[in-house]
Structure 1
């Protein structure tokens, strides 16, 4: 979602959305360094507001497409 994100560790199945508890596919790193994790739905919902406040967004929602192509569905 942004091109300026410093390298971070990939999100795993253990990472959960801070809003609903589903698997996280989006990490928002706030200007102070704190991270918020979101599922794809909540990541899309809050991305613009987070970006406007200076957060860097790590978007791994492409994993959902990869999982569906392999016959897996973790959404």
Structure 2
């Protein structure tokens, strides 16, 4: 991604496959991005790993504390 950080995923970001909250972003080297829920991220990211920069925030599902204000 040209050395820039992707913005954090918010509650408004939805999985391109099923519409659930997105926790994984795949920024394609050819341009564009795909968003996935944790389930579909685990399913599709292995095939996309060589085609995209992967940003996986699924560890937020295990975080303890008050909900974020995204």
> What is the TM-score normalised by the length of structure 2?
0.83
CA RMSD of aligned residues (A): 1.7
Q: Which has the higher strand share?
A: 2
Runs of 4+ in 1 over 2 A off after TM superposition: 69-72
1:59 to 49, 56, 63: 56
What stretches of structure 2 of length at least 5 have no aligned partner? none
Residues paired across the two proteins, number: 65
Q: What does residue range 28-39 of structure 1 map to in structure 2 within 5 Å?
A: 28-39=26-37
Distance in 2, Cα, partners of 1:31 & 1:8: 14
What stretches of structure 1 of length at least 5 have no aligned partner? none
Q: Which has the higher helix share?
A: 1
